[in-house]
Amino acid sequence: MVFACLCGVVALLLLGGFTFRRPASIPFTYRGGQWELVAVGGRVRVDNWPEVDFERRDIQRLEKIAAGRQRVYLGTMLDGPNLESRSPVELSTAARGVEAGREYALAKAELARWQGVYTTKPVAYGVHLGIVVGLLLVLPVVRLWGWWRGRVRERRGLCRACGYDVRANFDRCPECGRKVSARTRRADGADFVGLSPMR
């Protein structure tokens, strides 16, 4: 089942990598990070660029928040050091400036904290698509060859598993103990004329 799913994914990637203008990609999560499997230009690539892109966009968002709070803070600052000569409106602006200063300091601290947390380095592993397809075709080719060899042995009146001659109406192969099919046990041997046993 897993092998069939892998073959389907590779077929999708093969089609996407060679036929579509946009590369075919399959996102997945590995060890808490966002990764993707991409096929483009006859190559398969596994990379963590979604995670890196997410971190970059989040840092940009936090920088915009900090810059906005800095503008508010700087807009509320008073020019002179003498607060007693200010009007009540200017004093309320100064009070808002203190609150804006706190918000700006919190935004800068949040930005600095996430800049320390988001330290993912871009990683990409690539391989030619032909190598991936070749590796995934090994098991089906081996299974097909085993099936074909068993069919040839069965037509010759031999045990499918070990190649022992079982045309003498055995229910089981005396060599390996495998059940013998009715087609293999034909007593007349008409299907087997001219064929030599395969070893």
- Could you tell me the pLDDT band of residue 31, with boundaries at 50, 70 and 90? confident
Which among 123, 124, 126, 122 has a CA at the least distance from the CA of 56? 122
The two three-digit tokens of residue 76, written as one number? 């509320």
Q: What is the mean pLDDT of residues 86-115?
A: 79
In eight-state DSSP terms, residue 172 is B
What is the reported pLDDT for 151? 87
Backbone angles phi, psi at 174, to 5 degrees: -70, -15
Residue 24 has pLDDT above 80, yes or no: no
| H helix or E strand, kind and range, residue 51 | helix 49-75
Backbone angles phi, psi at 25, to 5 degrees: -140, 145
What is the reported pLDDT for 62? 93
Amino acid identity for residue 183 in this structure: R
What is the reported pLDDT for 110? 92
Q: Estimate to the nearest angstrom the gap between the alpha carbon of 77 and the chain centroid.
A: 52
What is the reported pLDDT for 102? 86
Sheet containing strand 124-128, edge to edge, reads 24-30, 33-40, 43-47, 124-128
What is the rounded average pLDDT for all residues in the chain? 77
- Mind listing the pLDDT tens digit for each residue in 136-188? 888 888 999 988 998 888 888 888 888 888 877 667 888 888 888 766 655 44
| H helix or E strand, kind and range, residue 116 | helix 88-117
Which among 130, 129, 126 has a CA at the least distance from the CA of 36? 126
Reported pTM: 0.53
Residue 57 has pLDDT above 90, yes or no: yes
- Could you tell me the pLDDT band of residue 58, with boundaries at 50, 70 and 90? very high
CB 160 within 8 A of CB 176: no
* Distance in angstroms (rounded) separating the CA atoms of residues 87 and 167: 114
In eight-state DSSP terms, residue 179 is B
- Could you tell me the pLDDT band of residue 43, with boundaries at 50, 70 and 90? confident
- Could you tell me the pLDDT band of residue 56, with boundaries at 50, 70 and 90? very high
Q: What is the mean pLDDT of residues 55-73?
A: 90
Residue 12 has pLDDT above 70, yes or no: no
Bigger pLDDT: 26 or 111?
111
Q: What is the mean pLDDT of residues 64-83?
A: 73
